[in-house]
Structure 1
Amino acid sequence: MNCHDENDDGIDPRVKLRANAGDKLHDLQLRRELDIINIRTANELGPPPPGGLPVAPRRKPNLPASASTMPLPMKAGHQENETMDFKSMAVAASMALAACAPVQEEKPSRKLNPDPKRAYTITMTIAGASGPYEISKGSLQYNIADQQCLPPVRNFAGVQTEPTHTSISFPLTKVADGSYVGTIYLDAMLEENFYGRGICRWELAGIFVTADMQFNSKHFYPSLALWYTPEMLLSEQAKTFYFWKDGLGRPDPSDPAILEAQGPKVFRAEIEAEVFSVTFSSRAVVQ
């Protein structure tokens, strides 16, 4: 059984790069849609109970055996041979699957930089929230900028088993009512020639901060930094985003006052009382 593909070193690197490249905006849109679904579900059904939903044990029904399902009588020797044949087939199948499965090796490229230097201080300010809230730790997503540094795909499944992205957390410290400060490192991931195919370079791809907020005693969990991009971080310009206080979207594109993904630039006075704002600002840390 041939469990490995042909050597793909001869393929044009640009073709492989385009095939492996992701769509950051599409990933962010999917994340936002998932957040909206979770928020609506929590608003309609309430938050999940502590420890998660109860799981009913699955039981096999005790049905009377019919004549068609009763095993045929066989001699002891014949039964022993049948059992041995079945075991032989099971062993052969497991060996074949094991040979075709990708080898689980250590992931050397996913290492933290012991001495990061490219630091930015990020400040997040929340204004106009209708109820109490808590801010969890933020998270950062890093992607490998050029996957040509990774080993070529040779496994039977045709999947790159080495890491192409990773996430790490960063703390946010409350400095005043509604104001939080944290530090982000652009070079938080270690860059080395891990596989002998060139330096694996990481780039910051996304910034995420989730809050546990309340409106009329109901919880919702907006991703406050979902639309705050690394490009905005590097620009060191303040960016403000708006969210509905009840956590529900208004998916009516015909209404000019409806909030868009990043919030309205101008909205009617009666809408202003229904939203709260989150403002991000950044500053490069001089070493």
Structure 2
Amino acid sequence: MHRVLKICLVTLLITACSRTENTMSQDLSTAAAEADVENGGRGLAKLNPQPRQAYDVVLKLHNAPGPFERIEGVAQYDVTNEAECGRINPETGTAGRITSQEPLALKRVADDEYHGTVYLDRMLDEDYYGRGVCHWKFSGTGALLKATGAHEETRFLTFIDADRFTAGDTLTRHYPARDYPRASPVEGPSGITSIEDYPARGNEDPTVFVPELREALFSISLSAKEAKQ
């Protein structure tokens, strides 16, 4: 469930944080859809076979403390009308959130630069539960970076929301270099504890860090522009 960015909090019947490219039949039962999501599939959700709203994505590293062998991108989509179209939870009488994080391939074009393509209309609007058509909307793009991909290493995370993405803004987040390749052990009530798979989300404002960290920061930038047709 959490192979991409580990930011999905709930497993939903229609979507998952990561998936295979299996094509699911339209009459997939709810139970089968849930099982497919648990196994990394897409469940009832389908991709738009002819997406047109393409954006070129650029990820840049600045003053990186070392190489990043694992870089994974993701494009997030959310249904905007789940209350009208989603499956009703019999225990609460309400419909759950419907979200999907689709893998974004990022191609290395230089030591510190990666390119990819995101489609705003990647998901296919459909009536999944006989309650009306669910409408998908692009929510943003993110990335996960690790030194070699080993479990214990720090996960450097970044995410730019849809408004800034489509406006052509550049999101730059700063990270302490000391967290590379893995976060340092911390001392607590029970002694020194190692932190494995630490999620470093950084900050847009480098001045929030204490002076000793501020002197050794690196940054990750995400930007996009509408692709030429």
How far apart are the structure 1 equivalents of 2:154 and 2:172?
A: 20
For each residue in 1:36-71, what CA deviation from the matched residue of structure 2 results, as whole angstroms up to 9, or x when unmatched?
Answer: xxxxxxxxxxxxxxxxxxxxxxxxxxxxxxxxxxxx
1:286 maps to which residue? 228
Q: Specify whether residues 131 and 286 from structure 1 end up closer, same or farther in structure 2 by C-alpha distance, changes over 3 A only.
A: closer
Q: Is the Cα contact below 8 Å between 2:206 and 2:214 reproduced in 1?
A: no
2:146 maps to which residue? 212
1:274 to 208, 216, 220: 216
Q: CA deviation at 1:152?
A: 5.6
Aligned length: 174
2:121 to 174, 184, 187: 187
Q: CA deviation at 1:269?
A: 8.2
Q: Superposition RMSD on alpha carbons, in Å? A: 3.5
Structure 1 gaps, min length 5: 1-27, 32-101, 250-258
1:198 maps to which residue? 132
Q: Specify whether residues 140 and 152 from structure 1 end up closer, same or farther in structure 2 by C-alpha distance, changes over 3 A only.
A: closer
More helix by share: 1
Overall identity of the aligned pairs, in %: 25
2:31 to 90, 104, 117: 104
1:48 maps to which residue? none
- Give the partner amino acid of 2:216: E
1:264 to 201, 206, 212: 206
TM-score normalised to structure 2 length = 0.63
How far apart are the structure 1 equivalents of 2:144 and 2:55?
A: 20
Q: Specify whether residues 219 and 280 from structure 1 end up closer, same or farther in structure 2 by C-alpha distance, changes over 3 A only.
A: same
Q: CA deviation at 1:192?
A: 2.5
How far apart are the structure 1 equivalents of 2:127 and 2:79?
A: 13
Q: Does 1:136 align with 2:71?
A: yes
1:165 maps to which residue? 99
For each residue in 1:141-184, what CA deviation from the matched residue of structure 2 results, as whole angstroms up to 9, or x when unmatched?
Answer: 221111134256263x3476877112211100000111000111
Q: Specify whether residues 236 and 265 from structure 1 end up closer, same or farther in structure 2 by C-alpha distance, changes over 3 A only.
A: farther
Q: Does 1:237 align with 2:181?
A: no
How far apart are the structure 2 equivalents of 1:208 and 1:278?
A: 11
Q: CA deviation at 1:267?
A: 8.0
Structure 2 gaps, min length 5: 8-28, 35-42, 185-200
More strand by share: 2
How far apart are the structure 2 equivalents of 1:138 and 1:236?
A: 18
Q: Does 1:117 align with 2:44?
A: no
How far apart are the structure 2 equivalents of 1:274 and 1:234?
A: 31
Q: Secondary structure at the match of 1:210?
A: strand
1:153 to 77, 88, 103: 88
- Give the partner amino acid of 2:48: N
Q: Secondary structure at the match of 1:246?
A: helix
Q: Is the Cα contact below 8 Å between 2:33 and 2:44 reproduced in 1?
A: no
Q: CA deviation at 1:139?
A: 1.7
Q: CA deviation at 1:232?
A: 1.4
- Give the partner amino acid of 1:280: L
Q: Is the Cα contact below 8 Å between 1:110 and 1:163 reproduced in 2?
A: no
Larger Rg: 1 or 2?
1
Q: Is the Cα contact below 8 Å between 2:66 and 2:147 reproduced in 1?
A: yes
Q: CA deviation at 1:263?
A: 3.0
